Structure 1
């Protein structure tokens, strides 16, 4: 592989619980819903507007209202997660070794820049990435391959030479649709949920195992 592309939430930082909690609170306390945790969790992918449409239908909110609700959700998420903000074990060393070897790296995430900046700047890791593609930079979210193809284009690397790190089936499917192999971090979903995806090379809870170390040795 000539380049690495990372999803952010659940892949670089173990924060999906905090996203789910922020959405559930907002759905139920602010928007009059009565959604259980198990009902909210499967909706945790894609752009915030897409989440709101999936949960409440296409006619509940104006675009302006969705943007306001989305920003409030992200503020709650950041406030709750900040004391726990940290890269997955082994990832800092992984990034540094890849950087030293000149392996180009990008972030391809459905997160808005507000959240990507929150992670990169608080952890001081922005310098490792030659490209960042956010929700604001694509038209269609994963499993559409647009985000990963855009990353490859910005890195100047053919899609087939990119290895994607993901944590959700829709993300790994997007990699498959982009013609890319994937490594799955099992922070959020079980291995069995990826059984239909032939492009997944490896499953790991973090970046410390022999396979991960072998990618940058």
Structure 2
């Protein structure tokens, strides 16, 4: 119980005011790209989260839609944050996808394989390895949570970011968050950062299920 209390308190360590500008910037960019290139966004959402194909498509998006960066010369944006935002939009706007997500049965938690992640990072050039673990870890961790508790993750959809309702929805999946955390991994869960990855994982899992029939 003490560990659960520590974990859930860490979820809300970020003040809403500090994360709102970044969230609004991501939302603005994602809305613009989705309007201008819906087929490219669907292509992105069909790729495996965190995979090489995802990075390839995201590189195209980042380079082709500078007009979507209003009032800025550039935008530093993590792929997972952007993908999560467009995935959440799609889940809200496409009833069939949301129904598929809510109908997922859930499966035993499949924790991230730390050794496999470290091996992937070791293949990067030496100058690019430092501080990359969480970048590789987060999408795999989110897939574990969404796969084990899809209905709990789907409960985030109607909530407003940084709201009491969002907080309640995340507290409700606290047990799943712990079940998916590998032993020995030090990862400070922050709601504003985790939500987009959960949305991305939920959409991908639902799309895979629909494709299998």
Query: TM (normalized to structure 2)?
Result: 0.28
Greater helix content: 2
Higher strand proportion (structure 1 or 2): 1
Q: Give TM-score, length-normalised by structure 1.
A: 0.28
If asked which structure has higher relative contact order (CA below 8 Å, sep 6+), I would say 2
